[in-house]
Structure 1
Amino acid sequence: MDVFPPADHPVTAYSEEQIIPDQVKGWQHLTAPKPADWVQAGQLADDWDFAQDILDPDERSWLRREENRVFLTLQFPVRGIVDDAWTLRPLGMVLHQQSLTTLLAEDLPSLSPFFEQMEHLSSPPESIEILAAILKILAQSYEDALHQLNMAIHENERQLDWTQSNGDFFTLLEISKSLTRFEVALVGNIATAFKISRLAEIRDDLPATRQVDTALLELQVAHERARVYAGTSTSMMDAYAGMVQNNINHGLKVVTVLAMIFYVPSMLATLYGVNTTLPFQKTHWIFWVIVCSGLGISGGLAALFKRKGWI
């Protein structure tokens, strides 16, 4: 658990009946907090359910106001270390007057540099400015993730052109699933960012208002890109699935045509190989008649099928 208290103010523990005092200002961050850490950070024990929600990786983006406090969550894209699969992780924030508390179940690569920078500042920015900066980082993290997914789509397309293996199809399926998750998550993030832009605390700060509006626009652009990329990946899967099915049908047709070509000489050889009396079996030229007839008929069939483009 990491707790970064305001640089110029000590952290004090408060009981469940107490209200968060107005003199607690600045920014503090908690990673995987426990109930004691939550109360020590100046939060009400009654609000511990909110901290538990952040520990759920499937927590959606939302915002609600309770008296003079604002609770909100945002979904950040995270790339897996082992399988490179993209997932979503929630970031929780509690805004109370001039204080901002951020919560994470685990450190996020897109936010860690910003939090480390804030930790070493002797005088951190206002809570509203930090909230606006986090929204900008959120929009940029989706832009970076979508750029990497787009590159993965093109790389997978080149692989499918050569191999058409099941592994490449599963890779494309995972990309499509990630894009769909991003598209859904961005809808919630955009709605939450819009609610943030309507907060009185934001509207009272003109630079923060502009930054939040810019982040909201970038999130909308990212959502449109995610929608387009998701449609592209789905269309690619349908196209390659159709191509594979067409190749299978073509292969079966070729096998059938070859079987028909070799069927005639095989039939003649079978007829004149039975142990019974046959016409002209004692003549010396019947063998060549059968061979030439079989080859002639097979050659004619092969030429016909070749002209029709079946082989």
Structure 2
Amino acid sequence: MISIYKSDLAGNLNSVEDIEVGSWINLIAPSDEEILLVAQKLNIPNDFIRAALDEEEGSRIEIEDDCTLVILDIPFTDIDANSLTYDTYPLAIISTKNTIVTVCLKNSKILTDFINRKIPSFFTFKKIRFMLQILSRISNYYLIYLRQINKKSLLIEKTVYKSLKNREIIQLLALQKSLVYFSTSLKSNEITLEKLLKLEVLQKYDEDKDILEDVIIENRQSIEMCTIYSDVLSGTMDAFASIISNNQNLVMKNLTSVTIVLAIPTLVSGLFGMNVGGVPFANSSLGFGTVTSIVLFITIVVIIYLRRKDMF
């Protein structure tokens, strides 16, 4: 899908039909025809556009003639088995002589925020500033999703203490895997941002350089948060696995105690049900009541003993 936008001098973002000077071309999982059209019209190498369509593409910067390619991993949320999961995908930002192009496999909230005018002071014809605003939004979403992961792990923690199932552990494992993806992507992005800071185009305006430095600081903060949350989550998973195992042992202990108590009347009734002579109280009219009383007494004694031993 290809969408073309252009800002006017008042800051309003308008959708246009054709590629114009100062426009923003947003490509979401583009077809071969759309890739060829944009590449030919803007004189962009096909590899620049196709780079972001590879899920395993790493973060990097590449410059060729008047085109500058910046690829960064951006965070995404997915719904998997009725559970919210987190992942990363590459986003390509291509700055040409007169336009800026973004390419991604999926529609991202980061770019949608610009389309929905949630970002103030945003102009498509200010290419470098627009690119830096995208980078800043990427860092913000990493921080937002990391806080969500932390809150979600705390909610799971409240339910796991009484759990006997592995569902909570599986959910925590998914969160830990998301943190690994985030950590790897953030460290790769850090290298790219450091290289971007050294480009001559950013040396012209101190304000642009300050924005990028703020982005780098937020990126480092996200890396630290990832490390902390991952360590805490790893220790929490080990503790929760022990808790679930202990809960299962408690259930087995209770079931064993109940089995012992129920075995007493079963054993006695089995003995008195034998078709042989010499059974105590067999000829007594009060035999059944006497035996029942004895069995109940023994059972109560056993229950009291097991209760004192904390078996219930």
Residue by residue over 1:235-262, the C-alpha shift from the partner in whole angstroms, topping out at 9 and shown as x without a partner, is 4433333222212111111111222223
Secondary structure of the 2:70 match is: strand
Q: Is the 8 A contact 2:94 2:101 kept in 1?
A: yes
The residue number in structure 2 matching 1:78 is 76
Partner of 2:47: 49
Q: In the aligned structure 2, how far is the partner of 1:140 from the partner of 1:226? A: 14
What's the CA shift string for 1:65-117, capped at 9, x where partnerless?
A: 45675432011112237854333232112346786443233432212332565
1:186 correspondence with 2:186: yes
**Residues of 2 paired with 1:245 and 1:200: CA distance?**
59
Q: Helix, strand or coil for the counterpart of 1:88?
A: strand
Sort the Cα spacing of 1:236 and 1:121 in 2 relative to 1 into closer, same or farther, 3 A: closer
Residue 41 of structure 1 aligns with an amino acid whose one-letter code is: L
Conserved 8 A contact 1:58-1:88: no
Residue 155 of structure 1: how far off its partner (Å): 3.0
**Residue 133 of structure 1: aligned partner:** 133
**Matches of 2:284 and 2:124, distance apart in 1:** 112
Name the SS of the counterpart of 1:247 in structure 2.
helix
1:260–1:105: structure 2 CA closer, same or farther, 3 Å change rule?
closer
Aligned pair count?
A: 293
- Alignment correspondent of 2:13: none
Contact 2:156–2:168 (8 Å) recurs in 1: yes
Equivalent pair of 2:100/2:124 in contact (CA under 8 Å): no
Distance 1:277 1:218, change over 3 A: same
Residue identity over aligned pairs, in percent, reads 19
Provide the residue aligned with 2:303 in structure 1. Answer: 302
**Cα deviation digits, residues 173-209 of structure 1 (max 9, x gap):** 4333322221221111112111211223223432111
| Partner secondary structure for residue 80 of structure 1 | strand
Amino acid paired to 1:79: T
Q: Which residue of 2 aligns with 1:15?
A: none
TM-score w.r.t. length of structure 1: 0.79
Instruction: Name the structure with the higher strand share.
Output: 2
> Deviation digits for residues 124-178 of structure 1, max 9, x if unmatched?
32x3322322221111111122222233233333444566665555444433332
Equivalent of residue 25 in structure 2, options 14, 24, 29: 29
Partner of 2:270: 270
Equivalent residues of 1:272, 1:278 under 8 A apart: no
Aligned 1:75-224 pairs, distance under 5 A: 75-80=73-78, 84-95=84-95, 100-114=100-114, 124-125=125-126, 127-160=127-160, 168-224=168-224
Aligned residue type for 1:297: I
Amino acid at match of 1:268: V
Q: Which runs of 5+ in 2 are unaligned?
A: 10-17
Please give the alpha-carbon distance, in whole angstroms, between the structure 1 residues aligned to 2:116 and 2:295. Answer: 83
The AA in structure 1 aligned to 2:47 is D
**Judging changes above 3 Å, is the alpha-carbon distance between structure 1 residues 98 and 35 closer, same or farther for their aligned structure 2 residues?**
closer
**Aligned partners of 1:133 and 1:122: how far apart in 2?**
10
Contact in 2 for aligned 1:7/1:121 (Cα 8 Å): no
Deviation at 1:289, TM superposition (A): 4.4
- Structure 1 window deviating more from structure 2 (24-33 vs 219-228): it is 24-33
Amino acid at match of 2:306: F
1:219 is displaced (CA, Å) by: 0.8
Query: Judging changes above 3 Å, is the alpha-carbon distance between structure 1 residues 121 and 252 closer, same or farther for their aligned structure 2 residues?
Result: closer
Trace 1:252-263 onto structure 2 (pairs within 5 A).
Answer: 252-263=252-263
**Structure-1 separation of matches of 2:235 and 2:123:** 52
The Cα shift of 1:40 comes to 0.7
SS in 2 for 1:309: coil
Cα separation, 2, equivalents of 1:81 and 1:258: 43
Query: What amino acid is the match of 2:40?
Result: V
Match of 1:39 in 2: 40
Structure 1 stretch displaced more, 156-165 or 272-281: 156-165
Look up the SS of the partner of 1:34 in the other structure. Answer: helix
Look up the equivalent residue of 1:154 and give its one-letter code.
Answer: L
